[in-house]
Amino acid sequence: MALPKVCGIETEYGVISRGFDSSPIVASSVLVNAYAGAFKQSIQWDFGDETPDRDARGFSLEDAFPPEVETHMANSVLTNGARYYVDHAHPEVSTPECRTAMEVVLYDRAGEQIIRESMQRANALLPEHHEIITYKNNSDGKGNSYGCHENYLVSRELPFGQLATFITTHFVTRQIYCGAGKVGSELFSERSDAVSYQISQRADFFEEEIGLETTIRRPIINTRDEPHCDPDKYRRLHVIVGDANMSEYATYLKVGTTAIVLAMIEDGAFPTHLIVDSPVSTIRTVSRDASLASPIRLRNGTLKTSLEIQFLILEAAEKYSTHDGLKSVCSAEFPNEGAEILRLWRETLTNLSNGGVGSFDTIDWLAKMSLINAYQDRNDLSPKDARLKALDLQYHDMRPGKNLSDRMNLRKLVAHSDAELARTEPPQSTRAYFRGECLKRWPSLQLVCFTFGTSACSRSRKFRSNDVQNFRCVLISQLRWRYDGENS
Amino acid sequence: MTEKIRKSNSNINEVPAEEIDDLVVGKNDHAENLKADLDQLLDDIDSILETNAEDFVNSYVQKGGE
């Protein structure tokens, strides 16, 4: 039986300062501190369990460059269970652990609201004509990329090689509905204008099939082995290959389909003949083929298009759903989540096989492409015109009134009022509820001590669970508080 | 929370009537509106776009990430 697909997203935002010179690290810190300070969120993250250099394949490469843990940057845990901090040179929001794709969409939207609120608060403190601006995208168009990473709980029992082989097929082809679109190429081997428009922001940056790095020689499968829970039972699959989405539907499909495919792999239900022969070249081919018609070679020698491969995965998922109704991606709150994802997945692929009609208001790369094409036609511009790249960037501009995706009338899944609520309220479905509630009740909380089962453990700020599903009720029955604060 | 969130998200096609205004979603006429919206956006876009697109694009540099 597949494990419940606890999942979440970490989004790094692009950041610039205008009217004054500032390093991106300082600008990012100003944003985080403007937000955390305003809401008295002074609690920091506990790095005790961080092991970014541990490789899921069970060995270490001498020439690998694992990311370093940065403990000195602005860093805050929020009452909704999220983490908001400076990662390298970007402000980054990690959603709380969520139980369904819909919850991830809700907390990703809450993350956008956090960023917008931060910009407003920071800019109110700056002198006139000084401004910090953020972008929810993944590249600067000059070969520099920053990530939107996903995380999924998977069973430790599943051999990692098997997991990597099958999920690669999904990662290479899912971009046809979760790509965010990009003007130009960022491959070192070719000119920027060698490609006028491609499906994915990120595809140009992947050079390896599998590996530990996230900033150089990026791999399609990242092997970081850092589960943040019982390492004997669980893995956290750290996915670095995706784009940040403005469309809520695209985020929903990205997380929802991936959670289902992972459950299928755990239960031996993934079609084993669907193994892509050359994933690194294929991920670029798919990104550069808006017709979705280019043939992809599978390891068994057959040729299929990205769309055909996605239809085959979907058909296997529909068959798989008849076993237990996709319980691993549903929750008590969202009991029909699996069926909804399958329905939308089929509708989207059907639309894509008809030129995208019906999905221009749900798929980012289609919406952005329609805007760029229409602007180019109306003004009779060359494909190299800088205004087209400016449109691309401003599709992701987080300033209200300047964000072009806001003006595209994309279909919504989350009401603005719900996203605002999710900015402070944790999800009730995972251990993030406990983390968030602690911080809500005791904002100056620094340390929580509790006994768990028969072995006593003491953790500061981060909480370990041996049973993710039942964590809430376990805590209520077995938790012991020791709170050294003014409200005790 | 989250009675509200539960309600509005339990089925992605069934948004409670009171939330409709927030969602800016018109159901049946949505597709027909898309082209009109795009035309309207193109009429307005010069006031939204950065005034010097080339400078803006060139100065947007993001080093360090992930």
pLDDT in tens, chain A (488 residues): 899 999 999 999 999 999 999 999 999 999 999 998 876 555 556 666 677 778 888 766 556 665 555 555 778 889 999 999 999 899 999 999 999 999 999 999 999 999 999 999 999 999 999 999 999 999 999 999 999 999 999 999 999 999 999 999 999 999 999 999 999 999 989 999 999 999 999 999 999 999 998 888 899 999 999 888 888 999 999 999 999 999 999 999 999 999 999 999 999 999 999 999 999 999 999 999 999 999 999 999 999 999 999 999 999 999 999 988 899 999 988 999 999 999 999 999 999 999 999 999 999 999 999 999 999 999 999 999 999 999 999 999 999 999 999 999 999 999 999 999 999 999 999 989 988 988 888 877 766 655 455 444 444 334 433 333 333 333 433 333 333 333 33
| pLDDT (0 to 100) of residue A62 | 57
Distance CA A158, CA A220 (A): 19
In this complex, do B11 and A409 lie within 8 Å of one another by their Cβ atoms?
no
Distance CA A320, CA A127 (A): 58
Tell me how close the Cα of A104 comes to any Cα of chain B, in angstroms. 12
Q: Is B12 exposed, middle or buried (0-12, 13-18, 19+ CB in 10 A)?
A: buried
| pLDDT (0 to 100) of residue B23 | 41
Helix (H, G, I), strand (E, B) or coil at A134: strand
Provide the residue type at A38 as one letter: A
Chain A residues whose beta carbon lies within 8 Å of the beta carbon of residue B53: 385-387, 389-390
Distance CA A326, CA A198 (A): 33
Q: Note whether A382 contacts B: Cβ–Cβ < 8 A.
A: no
Place of tokens 């990329």: A145
In this complex, do A147 and B45 lie within 8 Å of one another by their Cβ atoms?
no
Distance CA A449, CA A447 (A): 7
Q: Which of residues 9-38 of A touch B (CB under 8 A)?
A: 12, 14-16, 24
Task: Count other Cβ atoms within 10 Å, centred on residue B64.
Answer: 15
- Crossing angle between the packed helical segments A248-266 and A160-173, to the nearest 10 degrees: 150
Chain A residues whose beta carbon lies within 8 Å of the beta carbon of residue B60: 14, 16, 135, 140-141, 393
User: For A39-87, where are the E strands, in sequence order?
Assistant: 75-77, 83-87
Nearest chain B Cα to A86, which residue? Answer: B65
- CA A32 to chain CA centroid, nearest Å: 19
Q: Which residues contact A484 (CB under 8 A, 6 or more apart)?
A: A446, A447
Chain A residues whose beta carbon lies within 8 Å of the beta carbon of residue B33: 409
Q: Residue A131 belongs to what H/E stretch?
A: strand A131-135
Interface test with B, best of A25, A407, A423, A430 (most B CBs within 10 A): A407
- Of A278, A275, A277, nearest to A313 by C-alpha is A275
Q: Residue A24 belongs to what H/E stretch?
A: helix A24-38
Chain B residues whose beta carbon lies within 8 Å of the beta carbon of residue A358: 31
Cα separation values, B19 from A85, A102, A401, B7, Å: 32, 17, 22, 10
Provide the residue type at A334 as one letter: F
H-assigned helices in A74-100: none
Q: Which two tokens stand for residue A49?
A: 């369990």
H-assigned helices in A7-100: 24-38
Task: Count other Cβ atoms within 10 Å, centred on residue A114.
Answer: 26
Cα separation values, A164 from A3, A169, A171, A184, Å: 17, 9, 10, 29
Q: What structural domains and CATH numbers belong to chain A?
A: 7-421 (3.30.590.20)
User: Which residues share a beta bridge with A448?
Assistant: A459
The verdict on whether A87 is a catalytic residue reads yes
Contact A419, A113 (CB under 8 A): yes
Q: Which two tokens stand for residue A255?
A: 């997380």
Chain A residues whose beta carbon lies within 8 Å of the beta carbon of residue B31: 358, 361
User: Which residues share a beta bridge with A88?
Assistant: none
Task: Kindly give the pairing relationship between strand A234-239 and strand A218-222.
Answer: unpaired
Q: Which two tokens stand for residue A91?
A: 């402000």
**Of B11, B56, B65, which is closest to A89 when you measure between CB atoms?**
B65
Tell me how close the Cα of A96 comes to any Cα of chain B, in angstroms. 15
| pLDDT (0 to 100) of residue A241 | 97
CA angle A342, A343, A344 (to 5 degrees): 95
Of A87, A225, A243, A392, the catalytic one is A87
- pLDDT tens digit sequence for B5-64: 333 343 444 444 444 344 444 444 566 678 888 989 999 998 999 999 999 999 999 987
Tell me the residue length of chain B: 66
| Residue-range domain boundaries for chain B | 26-51
Contact A312, A304 (CB under 8 A): yes
Cα separation values, A387 from A245, A246, A407, Å: 21, 20, 17
Phi–psi pair at A452, nearest 5 degrees:
-135, 115
Interface test with B, best of A139, A218, A418 (most B CBs within 10 A): A418
Tell me how close the Cα of B36 comes to any Cα of chain A, in angstroms. 10
